Amino acid sequence: MSSMLSSSLFDVKDKVVLVTGGSRGIGLMIAHGFIVNGTKVYISSRSAEVCDKVAEELTKLGPGQCISLPADLQSLDEVKRLVAELTKRESSK
């Protein structure tokens, strides 16, 4: 059985996550937590300008990396586009 230590159970270093609503509030706090723990974080919000700015600021906090993928998740087409873009970026690794 794998380790049940919290350090291994919750180790997010070198993982990839998507945080919707990641440009403010709780989403921003969650993205920040992942970034400082070495995670590659994609954040999404409706405003491309805000999303881009926040991603740049979060990346500076490192060691993780933050990437902006703006989308309006009220639209099914936007959700599909977001998933396709994230899949494309991460499948090429």
Query: Mind listing the pLDDT tens digit for each residue in 64-83?
Result: 999 999 999 999 999 999 99
Residue 10 has pLDDT above 90, yes or no: no
Where are the domains positioned within the chain?
12-91
Name which of 50, 37, 39, 51 is nearest 82 in CA terms.
Answer: 51
For 12-91, the fitting CATH number among 3.10.450.40, 3.50.50.60, 3.30.1300.30, 3.40.50.720 is 3.40.50.720
Element (H, E) at 42: strand 40-44
Q: How is residue 74 written in tokens?
A: 């009220």
CA distance linking residue 79 with residue 72, whole number of Å: 7
Q: Which has more confidence, 7 or 76?
A: 76
Q: Is 64 helix (H, G, I), strand (E, B) or coil?
A: coil
Split at pLDDT 50, 70, 90, the class of 13 is confident
Residue 14 in this model has a pLDDT that exceeds 90? no
Contacts of 40 (CB under 8 A, 6+ apart): 14, 15, 16, 17, 64, 65, 67
pLDDT 10s digits, 15-65: 899 999 999 999 999 999 999 999 999 999 999 999 999 999 999 998 999
